[in-house]
Structure 1
Amino acid sequence: MSAQPNTAERPARAGTKTVRKTYPVLEMSCAACAVSVESMLKTTPGVSDAGVNYANQQAWVEFDPKTVSQQELQTAIRSIGYDLVIDAEDPQAVQAEAQQRQYESLKNRTIWAAVLSVPLVVIGMVFMAMPYANEIMLGLSAPVVFGLGRTFFVNAWKQARHGKTSMDTLVALSTGIAFLFSAFNTLNPEFWHQRGIHPHVYFETAAVIVTFILLGKLLEERAKSNTSSAIKKLMGLQSKTVRVVENDAEIEIPVASVRVGQVIVVRPGEKIPVDGVVVAGSSFVDESMISGEPVAVEKKPDQAVFAGTINQKGSFRFRAEKVGADTVLAQIIRMVQDAQGSKAPVQKLVDRIAGIFVPVVIAVALLTFAAWMIFGPAENAFAQALLTSVTVLVIACPCALGLATPTAIMVGVGKGADNQILIKDAESLELGYKVNAVVLDKTGTITAGKPAVTNLEWQVAETVHLSSLLYALESQSEHPLADAVVEHLNGLVVKGAKLETFESLTGRGVSGRYEGTTYVVGNRRLLDEHGISISKSVEQHVQQWQEDAQTVVYFADEKAVLAVLSIADVIKETSKTAIQTLKNRGIEVYMLTGDNRQTAGAVAKAVGLTDFRAEVMPSDKAAFVQELQNRGKVVAMVGDGINDSQALAQADVSLAMGQGSDIAMDVARMTLITSDLNRVPKALELSRKTVQVIRQNLFWAFIYNLIGIPIAAGVLFPINGFLLNPMMAGAAMALSSVSVVSNSLRLRNARL
């Protein structure tokens, strides 16, 4: 069976006979790999366009199926050492399994590299004079450099075939040269002794470099392997089976078999399997995954329901209107995939630097060798040429350069954790300082995300007995706002009275009898039906609450209003100060919500926001983020719900509230453990300080190289006869690494 790639298959451009499909790609380990795969796909006959995303390990291909088959595309990619998943029932599962194997392999290689490197360092630094020290180090380092670190050599070769260089090239070159030079000195020390030079070895240097770089790649791979978990959880919202009505009987069928027009039965607590319209029964449905709003929505005949939303206490039947890829949930899944896949592969700063630095170092080493061969002392020109050129390569070793970014990132991530900010990937931490627009979800981000009683005004003196009656009525109500009243009264240690009768009044409230008297809880319409008037003082309270977009609930007996309550999603105490802090830094702040404009306006006014959007769908949020990006903004999105997942995936920097949905936290690259919105400006400030340290590290790493490489090449020799030997070069390299690590550790004491 041919692949069905995540509903990512889309129509090609109008007027063409091509199709566009997305496939998982295996064996990519760097951004240069993605470039190679993309280049090969684009040059394959029959392919009109293609793109590869290294972050989510996928390639999209627009091709003419009459000219080139999927198997031929796969063969082309396999010819350059990668693979395309096409023949699988579930290609994403195959990709996930391959990524897991790759991660486990990398983890094992990192552990073994560290285990073998420890004795190497001990021998090389402390026991270098022990018998057979060099031979033992040769035996320990060989499997680290050429076995556990083989991927650096493989990747360097792949990139070299395409005329490219990266950190892999620098690692392979320096470790390979250091090892081979050391092996030569171990096996043939007399070559140097005859020339009056002591043959030093650098086995521990080569092994430690490999171990450090493997550790960095392991951390990167772990972050990358979590990319698709959000998609899996979104897919988990889809029902597997469904009960349809046929010939007055209910039968269970797979959800994939549902056809438009079939009548489906939904029981209490079940997920709604497809989009449709209610035909019989009523209930309240939790639509927070679409709207983000915490209050369940009442559903009656002729009202729409959506796949993935959750039925509450009632039971109803609905007619299927949209199935499969046409449902709102399927569109959310597709948009999250597209948003994650639309980001260009990040070409790391160090890789860009290495693209220039590596050829320069190689050129300097070759020039050094040539200069010594031409102008060096005639009696040992070759020996001095070899020694100085190797010294150049050793002193230019990428240890400080390679540590500059990951050490700062690791300390920054730790600092974030201390401040209740969990950072999943380096990209967000490196990019956060550039953010100049922050988009905030309302419910659960600015507000608590849960309805609560904000006011309870009693109109009578004796309230203990009446509180127990109110508790009894609301505890039996199916309305979602009733839970807020029950929770409030629970806090007052109220126990419910025993009602004689109870009745739920759809769209109005509830009523019940106690000791011969009827009591009601509900809206204004319910009071009007019972002819109960409202005093002017109550009217004033109600008018003010409604202006603040709070829901008003009345509690009355047969004659008068006993109490009036207001219920709202309360604004968090820290929201206003956090928003003001962001604005003081010159950052534009926007609020998006699926709630009505009146409620949105009241919340925006309370927290000092003037720019907000109300009644927006999940796709509208993502589109708004993209609109800001098109205007040149670097956008941070802060949200907590499934309905925010598209916008979180689209944003440059994404932050999820720790109290929110698992899917939002999976999509977001940062998670705020606390619900305190003040952590957002702290996260952006942490990014600024981390990037500042990275730049300092890179500066010092380069200053060291600018000074060290000419000295290693022998520029001082004609002046004062000084020649740097490789052992001193290795020590200088180690010192530069220590300075980089020490500078990174300063982040631990930074104030956010």
Structure 2
Amino acid sequence: MFELPVLNQNSTPPTSRSGRKARFLIEGMHCAGCVGRAETGLRAVPGVLDAQVNLANREAQVTLSEDAPEPNWTSVLAPLGYQFRPLPDATTPPESPPSPIPWIISLSFSALVMWLCTGGGHWPGAHRLAAGLSAFVVFGFGREFYRIAWTRWQQRTSDMNTLIALGSGVAYIAGLVELGLHGAGHAVSTSAMPFDAAAMIVSFVLLGRWLEARARQRASRAIDELGGLIPQEAVLLRRDNTEVIVPLAQVCVADRLLVRPGSRLPVDGRIESGRADLDESLLTGESLPVSRGPGDSVLGGSLCHGGSLVVQAEQVGDATTLGQIIGLVRDAQGTKAPIARLADRIARVFVPSILGLALTTSIAWLILATGPDRFARTVQATVNVLVIACPCALGLATPVAVVVAMGRAAREGLLIRDGEALETLGKVSRVAFDKTGTLTIGQPHVIAWEGLDQNSETALSAARAVAQLSEHPLSGAIVTWIDTASGAPAAPLPVSDFQSIPGQGIHGTVAGQNIRLERDPLATPDQPGTRTALFIDNQRIGSFVLQDQLRPEAAGVIAALRTLGIQTALLTGDRKAVAQQVAREVTIDDPRAELHPGDKGSILRDWQSHGEVVAMVGDGINDAPALAIANVGMALGSGTAVAMATADVTVLSGSLRGVVDAILLSRQTLHVIRQNLGFAIGYNLVGIPLAAGLLYPWTGWLLPSWFAAAAMSSSSVCVVLNSLRLGRRPDQRQTDAKNSVSRPLKSSLYDNRTGK
């Protein structure tokens, strides 16, 4: 079982090199301007070093100095117009979907107002009824827009609510003016009174926010799926082996728990008795159940099949592997990708710019327009500009895509540290691999015995007796091979004077003879494999040829990277002959051998100096420096905690396929983000001029205000729905022509080329 390099969140808050972290939710944010305002307010708090706010999941990540007291976040956020809410834990019920009732009632009344204003109002009092119903919608269902807009006015700032309040308010006041003129006997048609526009603006915004909230809940579903793997109750075994069902919060370390077939493990622990097949697919990405028995470690959230288990709890709550995974995914979802900086820069000036454009539009219409409907057209064009502008789509373009991508990565057994790593993955031009434990399984095996006496069973039995006392992987491989060759484990021979000398070998005395296993002095550099010679009383008897077995997916992964246009390299401390043999078998472009850990870093820096974006894949302690130097460090889940702590991406399953899947996911995410940004910017560039009446001089057509409101609401929903496409798994029915790539990889490559 692998270990995750994160802290126990039940003890101390997670820390970084620059301080400790605080995470919580912020309610009341609706656009990119809200994000900027919240971040600025949080960074102004004494002791806060940095703050990042994610519009998609409403989460704030604040870095505090180590000696700073925890601020009262409610008091910090309240003057900004936002509300503090703590992050939900495992005992918090899932957030209920927003109610559709407000927008349904509001839209129903708005439809009646539109009928009264556009054709059904030819009876006394109809226009007054329209004004009353419109006021009920605008100032009843839309009161929150006005409350927040007033707060922003007091703060000398503005946001999306300012535009909505101004748009609906101007339309309603214009309707009252027209109604007053009509009552004074002036020739004003009821159809010129924009009460319907005011009501429809509020109704469509409510509808849009409801759809957006539903879609954003779907975007964050990955966290709920992971949290749902842990049962809320456990079967506790008392000392007399009686069973009692207790809430999960009452389970402690060292408690004995009964896990029945068909149920999920509530904690990380070790099996005390029983045997079962455990489905760990949502935790490690391993698709097939694995058999576990007494003494084996197990993960909380695994599904038990075919037997009952008695498990002793070792980690509970947030300290479990699953709890730490959820914490890592939350952290990653809350980070920003560098590509979001464009949207942030635009968002800072967006609303003030729209207010200026609306004022310019109003002045232009008053000066240039003629005819009896001059005032009505001026109001309509001004309201259109205020309403159609949408900073929401711009603010959601990047964070929703990052949230969905991080959630999908977690479901597929990939932990990506932050948005920057996710973006950089898509730009990788070269992937460098370590050999031992990365391209290979890390378990050497004997491929040949080159003995002077091929049938010397006595010599091999003596070699086995000495080798079984060593913990070195080569010794274990020799013991396994001798047992297999003889058909059964040999009876152990007594060994005396055993010694293991690091870097030299092992030796001992068996039946009065000195037995030595050490590096073969007759081995030549061009010979593949590792050669360990057997000496009996200083006479060389023969040599074991050992080789580390390649991972079965290695060749297919290298071929997939080549299909993606990515160069590959092998960086190993092993001999040149071994490195070249591995490179030939998996068709790696550039093998480098006999390297020290520092040499790997120098090679990576050289590639980077030539403009390459380099990913390094490793699993050992000696890989940690190279993982830190690479643009993206990737560690396999079967590796060491040191390597995974340094890496930007951890492949929980330990399979090399995760390297390709992570790169494909990054490219797909960048593609969707660019689509979102292009749509959000293009929508505003096209929509605002049309709303202002650009085509009116030639066509006499002016965009209806209700349509502008509908367009504004749907634009943010479109961005969120487009991002949700990232959550779909690759279509397994789509295949690629290349036989070197496994079926899941082939479908992923197909999706990448087609943009699906």
TM range (shorter): 0.5 to 0.7
| Cα distance in 2 between the residues matched to 1:175 and 1:506 | 74
| Cα distance in 2 between the residues matched to 1:639 and 1:83 | 30
Structure 2 counterpart of 1:176: 162
> Are 2:369 and 1:389 aligned?
no
For the 8 Å contact 1:475–1:486, the answer to whether it is kept is yes
AA matched with 1:369:
S
What is the Cα deviation at residue 693 of structure 1? Answer: 3.5
Q: 1:611 to 1:554 in 2, by over 3 A?
A: closer
Structure 2 counterpart of 1:242: none
Q: 1:573 to 1:478 in 2, by over 3 A?
A: closer
Pick one of 605, 609, 627 that aligns with 1:630.
Answer: 609
> Are 2:583 and 1:616 aligned?
no
Root-mean-square deviation (Å): 5.7
Deviations 1:142-168 (A, max 9, x none): 669978x99x969x979x7xxxxxxxx
What is the Cα deviation at residue 709 of structure 1? Answer: 1.7
Same amino acid, percent of matched pairs:
31
For the 8 Å contact 1:134–1:201, the answer to whether it is kept is no
> Are 2:470 and 1:477 aligned?
yes
Pick one of 419, 440, 444 that aligns with 1:447.
Answer: 440
> Are 2:645 and 1:651 aligned?
no
| Cα distance in 1 between the residues matched to 2:413 and 2:507 | 43
Structure 2 counterpart of 1:370: 363
Structure 2 counterpart of 1:308: none
> Are 2:425 and 1:432 aligned?
yes
What is the Cα deviation at residue 728 of structure 1? Answer: 1.0
Report the more deviating stretch, 582-591 or 183-192.
183-192
| Cα distance in 2 between the residues matched to 1:666 and 1:202 | 50
Q: 1:480 to 1:34 in 2, by over 3 A?
A: farther
The normalised TM-score by structure 2 is 0.56
| Cα distance in 1 between the residues matched to 2:516 and 2:108 | 82
Structure 2 counterpart of 1:168: none
Q: 1:460 to 1:642 in 2, by over 3 A?
A: closer
> Are 2:618 and 1:639 aligned?
yes
SS at 2:590 equivalent: coil
Structure 2 counterpart of 1:301: none
> Are 2:655 and 1:698 aligned?
no
AA matched with 2:496:
F
| Cα distance in 1 between the residues matched to 2:528 and 2:695 | 78
What is the Cα deviation at residue 370 of structure 1? Answer: 1.6
> Are 2:549 and 1:570 aligned?
yes
Q: 1:572 to 1:83 in 2, by over 3 A?
A: closer
| Cα distance in 2 between the residues matched to 1:648 and 1:524 | 31
Pick one of 498, 519, 534 that aligns with 2:492.
Answer: 498
Pick one of 639, 643, 647 that aligns with 1:668.
Answer: 647
For the 8 Å contact 2:627–2:646, the answer to whether it is kept is yes
For the 8 Å contact 1:590–1:612, the answer to whether it is kept is yes
| Cα distance in 2 between the residues matched to 1:418 and 1:6 | 26
What is the Cα deviation at residue 579 of structure 1? Answer: 3.6
AA matched with 1:396:
A
Structure 2 counterpart of 1:511: 508
| Cα distance in 2 between the residues matched to 1:491 and 1:134 | 88
Q: 1:112 to 1:445 in 2, by over 3 A?
A: closer
| Cα distance in 2 between the residues matched to 1:737 and 1:611 | 49
The normalised TM-score by structure 1 is 0.56
Structure 2 counterpart of 1:265: none
Q: 1:462 to 1:125 in 2, by over 3 A?
A: farther
SS at 1:694 equivalent: helix
| Cα distance in 2 between the residues matched to 1:106 and 1:390 | 38
What is the Cα deviation at residue 368 of structure 1? Answer: 1.1
| Cα distance in 1 between the residues matched to 2:468 and 2:392 | 65
Q: 1:354 to 1:188 in 2, by over 3 A?
A: closer
| Cα distance in 2 between the residues matched to 1:476 and 1:94 | 58
Q: 1:623 to 1:142 in 2, by over 3 A?
A: farther
> Are 2:503 and 1:523 aligned?
no
Structure 2 counterpart of 1:709: 688
AA matched with 1:447:
T
For the 8 Å contact 1:177–1:393, the answer to whether it is kept is yes
What is the Cα deviation at residue 645 of structure 1? Answer: 3.8
Deviations 1:587-615 (A, max 9, x none): 44333345566655654565544352643
Q: 1:189 to 1:215 in 2, by over 3 A?
A: same
| Cα distance in 2 between the residues matched to 1:349 and 1:487 | 59
Structure 2 counterpart of 1:751: 751
| Cα distance in 2 between the residues matched to 1:640 and 1:145 | 56
Matches within 5 A, 1:58-69: none
Matches within 5 A, 1:405-420: 405-409=398-402, 412-413=405-406
SS at 2:387 equivalent: helix
What is the Cα deviation at residue 692 of structure 1? Answer: 3.1
For the 8 Å contact 2:514–2:537, the answer to whether it is kept is yes
Q: 1:728 to 1:144 in 2, by over 3 A?
A: closer
What is the Cα deviation at residue 522 of structure 1? Answer: 0.8
For the 8 Å contact 1:394–1:729, the answer to whether it is kept is yes
> 5+ unaligned residues in a row in structure 2: which ranges?
1-13, 27-31, 55-61, 77-81, 113-131, 181-191, 224-335, 732-749
What is the Cα deviation at residue 712 of structure 1? Answer: 1.3
Q: 1:216 to 1:384 in 2, by over 3 A?
A: same
Pick one of 587, 592, 615 that aligns with 2:571.
Answer: 592
Q: 1:454 to 1:153 in 2, by over 3 A?
A: farther
AA matched with 1:394:
V
Structure 2 counterpart of 1:282: none
Matches within 5 A, 1:76-155: 85=65, 87=67, 105=85, 107=87, 115-116=97-98, 118-124=100-106
What is the Cα deviation at residue 659 of structure 1? Answer: 1.9
What is the Cα deviation at residue 705 of structure 1? Answer: 3.0
SS at 2:508 equivalent: strand
Q: 1:39 to 1:446 in 2, by over 3 A?
A: same
Q: 1:113 to 1:558 in 2, by over 3 A?
A: closer
For the 8 Å contact 1:183–1:201, the answer to whether it is kept is no
For the 8 Å contact 2:385–2:688, the answer to whether it is kept is yes
What is the Cα deviation at residue 419 of structure 1? Answer: 6.2
Q: 1:178 to 1:567 in 2, by over 3 A?
A: same
Structure 2 counterpart of 1:281: none
SS at 1:504 equivalent: strand
Pick one of 193, 196, 200 that aligns with 1:196.
Answer: 193
Q: 1:347 to 1:470 in 2, by over 3 A?
A: same
For the 8 Å contact 2:138–2:168, the answer to whether it is kept is no
AA matched with 1:691:
L
What is the Cα deviation at residue 6 of structure 1? Answer: 9.5
AA matched with 1:444:
G
| Cα distance in 1 between the residues matched to 2:699 and 2:705 | 18
Q: 1:576 to 1:695 in 2, by over 3 A?
A: same
Deviations 1:92-143 (A, max 9, x none): x999xx99xx998375799999755644444445676699898589667666
